[in-house]
């Protein structure tokens, strides 16, 4: 079992843990499943990323299209799972899901909500390093969604999570680009003008350019696809995949089969 972490930890103890970030999201834990609350942007963003995850997995593993539970038989890790906004849909698609988060408050929220929905998800308070140290078997899919910009050592975190992908498996990373446009829209606009997120949710200095994601993954033996952007369309109020990676983007990384 991975070491449990709570918001009282005074200093970074692993590459995954930035205590200030853990405390920040622990304070918001009870609001994860409120679609009009502090995580409203994630609820609006979720359909686009869930569709992308499903279609990427179907193509990668050669899964039949149109199945109700296409991920059945696949083991999936949602690292930095928060309250379970991605873990639950993945479980409904048939995956055997393990959700890991450094915040015990987030894990308690996720466990409670999954139980209410009748879903069996293996939620754990801990870290990627804890999984590695425990000798945890590798996963078919590792989801690294909007978490790398909140950890203490992004490069080491990415290399550690890459080690949890088994041969022939894949990882999907979603994060924010370190650009002036991202500062203007994802921080100043979303947090301080539109108030979509509580001020201080993001620290622009911790955003990552795509090469800061792909380089550590490739160093860990992964093969990376060209990053794909996710853009907000204000007229429709929808998020869509795009070629614009200047704010939000996702990277698919694959571990070659043995």
Backbone phi, psi, residue 197, to 5°: -135, 155
Contact (Cβ atoms closer than 8 angstroms) between residue 121 and residue 99: yes
Mean residue pLDDT of the chain comes to 85
Domain ranges of the chain: 15-177+208-255
Write the pLDDT tens digit of every residue in 191-250: 555 566 666 677 878 899 999 999 999 999 999 999 999 887 766 667 899 999 999 999
CA distance 83 to 147: 13
The per-residue DSSP string of 127-195 comes to -HHHHHHTTPPPEEEEEEES-GGGSS-HHHHHHHHHTTEEEEEEEEEEEE--SHHHIIIIIIIIIIIS-
Q: Is 9 annotated as a binding residue?
A: no
Q: Tell if the pTM clears 0.75, that is, is over it.
A: yes
Q: How far apart are CA 149 and CA 145, in angstroms?
A: 10
1 is in an annotated binding site: no
User: Which fold does the domain 15-177+208-255 belong to in CATH?
Assistant: Rossmann fold (3.40.50)
Instruction: Give the whole-angstrom CA distance, residue 119 versus residue 206.
Output: 34
- Please indicate if the annotation marks 49 as binding a ligand: yes
What does the pLDDT look like over 81-113, one tens digit per residue? 999 999 999 999 999 999 999 989 889 889 888
Rounded-to-integer distance, Cα 67 and Cα 245, Å: 31
8-33 mean pLDDT:
61
């Amino acid at each position: 079992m991975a070491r449990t972490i709570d918001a009282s930890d005074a200093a970074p103890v692993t590459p995954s843990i930035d205590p200030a970030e853990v405390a920040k999201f622990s304070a918001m834990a009870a609001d994860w499943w409120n679609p009009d609350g502090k995580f409203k942007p994630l609820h609006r963003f979720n359909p686009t990323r869930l569709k992308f995850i499903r279609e990427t997995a179907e193509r990668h593993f050669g899964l039949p299209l149109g199945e109700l539970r296409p991920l059945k038989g696949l083991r999936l890790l949602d690292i930095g799972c928060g309250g379970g906004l991605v873990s639950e849909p993945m479980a409904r698609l048939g995956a055997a899901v393990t959700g890991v988060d450094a915040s015990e408050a987030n894990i308690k929220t996720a466990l409670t909500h999954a139980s209410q929905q009748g879903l069996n998800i293996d939620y754990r308070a801990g870290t990627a390093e804890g999984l590695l140290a425990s000798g945890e078997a590798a996963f078919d899919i590792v989801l690294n969604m909007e978490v790398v910009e909140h950890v203490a050592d992004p490069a080491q975190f990415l290399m550690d999570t890459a080690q949890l992908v088994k041969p022939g498996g894949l990882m999907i990373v979603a994060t924010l680009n370190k650009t002036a446009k991202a500062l203007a829209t994802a921080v100043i606009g979303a947090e301080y003008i539109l108030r979509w997120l509580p001020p201080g949710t993001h620290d622009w200095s911790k955003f990552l350019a795509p090469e800061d994601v792909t380089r550590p993954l490739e160093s860990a033996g992964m093969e990376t696809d060209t990053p794909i952007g996710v853009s907000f369309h204000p007229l429709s109020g929808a998020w869509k995949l795009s070629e614009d990676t200047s704010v939000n983007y996702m990277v698919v990384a694959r571990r070659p089969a043995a």
